[in-house]
């Protein structure tokens, strides 16, 4: 193991230690950081080596744009992040990053978060910021263990096209108003275990993605296990979707989601991308979120969203659980077993809810559980305990144009209702909600179609 100070690193947080640390990395094997603050620009990890940050050691990202190297990433141009990164590993093997020290992205050097969070992405609070802080692409046998990843100015840890990855005991913290301050993004990776992590982020805590456009080695995002984690966010604690590939065979278990806007968000349709999402399990979880479960399908018959199960889940909520398919492709084979929520004040139930806009708004259907264009949906031993006096909540389970909805030993606490509308009426609601049709003109067009009918 090479001590960075033997290669000329100062570790006082003022001197630029990039060259010294890179020399230690290039010497091969693990690089050791004793206590101190090591100010660096981009560092390139090499096969059969990595970083070991001892207690009291901080690897601090440089505030200077000139200190960063560029590596094309899969971020959104609308998010106004650059292709620069702090820690990079491309097509390497046997990469390790270990603690108990800290990697600090120095977010405060690039911009200060607003006092209040908003989703107005057109606001530009920064002139320039780096992209993903830890960027590992097409690498095999990756270990990230026991380290702190703090203050990233963009996504914290991006794993793209990797195989055989373990992320364990990692503590991630971003200011809650950090735009796009994701925790761990797992994109087109195979065989990944995330365990015993605590993530408090400004955006998605953990994501599974299927965006392979920039990969030479194309592969699904598959065989993923996430267990024993504690998640908190102002956005989505668990996000599955984005990209036009396949996301499959994943298990999330023994996790606590607390004080979050959304618990689990599964999106087969996001902007212009449409993904296959299948064979996903959620077991033994506590979800305290405004909107606990959001499951969105798509209209591409070759890109199903199916085989999703929720089992042994407890929590609190104030905005409806949603399963949203389309006339062209219902969401199929979704099961809820031993799922119970206490329903609190704070939701915004509305009678006329646009069922498939892709917008996971807290404006909610007026039923605690809403299924639109679903097929083969099963509820077994599920319960809603109503802790709110809001009279706008009309129903327990509300279904729209759905088939084969089965209930066993359930008590949703209010009347259940099944409705049908014409597919054209449904599509028109979507177009109005998406802004493709003027709202006033849309109201006139809707008069041609009957309102939803109870069956």
In the chain, pLDDT over 70 holds for what percent of residues? Answer: 94
Contact present, 372 and 344 (Cβ < 8 Å): no
Q: Is residue 187 part of a domain?
A: yes
- Work out the pLDDT band at 122, boundaries 50, 70, 90: very low
Q: Is residue 118 part of a domain?
A: no
Q: Is residue 10 part of a domain?
A: yes
Burial state string for 416-429 with b = 16 or more CB within 10 A and e = fewer than 16? bbbbebeeebbebb
Angle at 404 between CA 403 and CA 405, to 5 degrees: 95
Q: Is residue 274 part of a domain?
A: yes
Contact present, 294 and 322 (Cβ < 8 Å): yes
Could you give phi then psi for residue 108, rounded to 5 degrees? Answer: -65, -20
Full domain range(s) for residue 192: 2-113+126-454
Answer whether 0.75 is exceeded by the pTM: yes
Q: Is residue 119 part of a domain?
A: no
Give residues with Cβ within 8 angstroms of 304, minimum separation 6: 268, 276, 277, 278, 297, 329, 332
Model pLDDT for residues 358-374, shown as the tens digit of each residue: 455 667 889 999 999 99
CA-nearest of 25, 29, 30, 32 to 11 is 32
Q: If you average pLDDT over every residue of the chain, what do you get?
A: 91
**How many domains is the chain built from?**
1
Q: Is residue 109 part of a domain?
A: yes
Model pLDDT for residues 150-193, shown as the tens digit of each residue: 999 999 999 999 999 999 999 999 998 888 899 999 999 999 99
Mean pLDDT of all residues in 378-394: 95
CB < 8 Å & 24+ apart, contacts of 418-424: 418/454, 418/455, 419/452, 419/453, 419/454, 419/455, 420/452, 420/453, 420/455, 421/449, 421/450, 421/451, 421/452, 421/453, 422/449, 422/450, 423/327, 424/449
CATH number, domain of 407, equals: 2.160.20.10
Burial state string for 217-248 with b = 16 or more CB within 10 A and e = fewer than 16? eebbbbbbbbbebbbbbbbbbbbbbbbbbbbb
Rounded to an integer, what distance in angstroms lies between the CA atom of residue 308 and that of residue 324?
Answer: 13
Res 435: pLDDT? 72
Q: Is residue 144 part of a domain?
A: yes
């Amino acid at each position: 193991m090479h001590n960075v100070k033997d290669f000329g690193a100062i570790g006082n947080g003022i001197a630029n230690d990039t060259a010294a640390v890179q020399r230690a990395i290039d010497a091969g094997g693990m690089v050791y950081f004793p206590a101190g603050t090591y100010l660096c620009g981009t560092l390139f990890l090499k096969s059969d080596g990595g970083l070991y940050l001892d207690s009291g050691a901080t690897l601090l990202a440089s505030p200077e744009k000139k200190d960063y190297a560029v590596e094309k990433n899969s971020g959104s141009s609308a998010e106004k992040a650059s292709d620069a990164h702090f820690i990079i590993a491309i097509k390497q093997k046997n990469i390790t990053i270990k603690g108990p020290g800290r990697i600090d992205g120095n977010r405060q050097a690039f911009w200060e978060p607003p006092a209040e969070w908003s989703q107005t992405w057109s606001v530009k609070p920064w002139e320039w910021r780096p992209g993903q802080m830890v960027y590992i692409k097409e690498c095999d046998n990756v270990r990230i263990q026991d380290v702190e990843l703090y203050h990233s100015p963009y996504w914290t840890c991006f794993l793209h096209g990797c195989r055989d990855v373990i992320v364990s005991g990692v503590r991630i913290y971003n200011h809650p108003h950090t735009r796009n301050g994701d925790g761990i993004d797992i994109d087109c990776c195979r065989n990944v275990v995330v365990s015993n992590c605590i993530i408090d982020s400004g955006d998605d805590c953990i994501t599974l993605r299927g965006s392979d456009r920039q990969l030479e080695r194309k592969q699904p995002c598959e065989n993923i296990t996430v267990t024993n984690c504690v998640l908190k966010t102002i956005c989505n604690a668990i996000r599955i979707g984005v990209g036009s590939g396949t996301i499959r065979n994943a298990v999330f278990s023994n996790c606590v989601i607390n004080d979050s806007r959304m618990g689990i968000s599964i999106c087969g349709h996001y902007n212009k991308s449409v993904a296959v999402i299948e064979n996903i399990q959620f077991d033994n979880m506590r979800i305290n979120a405004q909107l606990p479960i959001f499951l969105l399908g798509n209209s591409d018959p070759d890109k199903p969203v199916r085989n999703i199960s929720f089992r042994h889940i407890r929590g609190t909520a104030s905005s409806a659980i949603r399963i949203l398919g389309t006339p062209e492709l219902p969401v199929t084979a979704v099961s809820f077993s031993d799922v119970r929520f206490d329903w609190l004040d704070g939701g915004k139930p509305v009678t006329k809810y646009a069922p498939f806009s892709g917008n996971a708004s807290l404006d909610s259907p007026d039923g605690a559980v809403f299924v639109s264009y679903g097929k083969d949906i099963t509820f077994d031993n599920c319960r809603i305990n109503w802790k709110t006096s809001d009279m706008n909540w009309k129903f327990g389970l509300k279904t729209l144009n759905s088939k084969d909805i089965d209930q066993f030993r359930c008590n949703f606490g209010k009347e259940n209702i099944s409705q049908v509308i014409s597919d054209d009426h449904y599509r028109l609601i979507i177009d109005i909600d998406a802004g493709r049709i003027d709202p006033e003109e849309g109201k006139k067009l809707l008069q041609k179609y009957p309102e939803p009918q109870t069956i």
